[in-house]
Each structure stands twice: as structure tokens, then as C-alpha cells.
Amino acid sequence: MQSHGSRRGIHHQKNICSTELLATNILQMFNGPLLTKLYPTSLHLSEKIHTENVKQRVNGGWSDERDRSLCQSLFSNKWNKLLTQWAPKLIEYSPIY
């Protein structure tokens, strides 16, 4: 499973720009069956060379200033309370903890 700080079309479809709400939605996805898949027993990595330049898009992507702000805000401690609240549940299946 892969998740990104912003879903395609988040601004023009749902008009949700709240980092806290987005973090809550992502963390809630880990309830139930997804929680057991959080720490896979094996992992395959492959190298992909990015050859295409980022194209300007009206809605979404790194070229959209709103998405840039949303991604950058993830590092501004705006949602640390949510992560702290969910951390015990998220590491429950971790082989490390």
C-alpha cells in the first residue's frame, strides 16, 4: 500500500485542504486488515529513473502550490498530536517494537 499526502483531485473534488483531516483519514485506514500489512515480511525494491519533466497542471501534483503547501505542512508539527495518539496502534504489529 502506498499513500501520499495529497490525493489526486482533492482540491477541486472535495475542497479539503486540512492536513489534520487528511492525516486522520490515512491513519484510520490502518484499522482492521490493513494494520497487519503495515510491516511486510519481505520487500522488493527496484530503481526507476525519472526521465519525464514535471508538467504544469492546473489541479494537483507538485506543480500545484496547494499540494506543495500541504506536503510541506506535514513537517511543521501540525498533526503530531494525531500521530502520537495513533502510534501505539500503528506499531502493534511491528517486529521491531
Cite the annotated binding site for Mn(2+) by residue number: 4
Binding-site residue numbers are 4
What b/e string do you get for 20-46 counting C-beta neighbours within 10 Å, with b at 16 or more? eebbeebbeebeeeeeeeeeeeeeeee
Q: Fill in the DSSP letter of residue 77.
A: T
Other CB atoms within a 10 A radius of the CB of residue 72 amount to: 11
Under 8 Å between Cβ of 38 and 90: yes
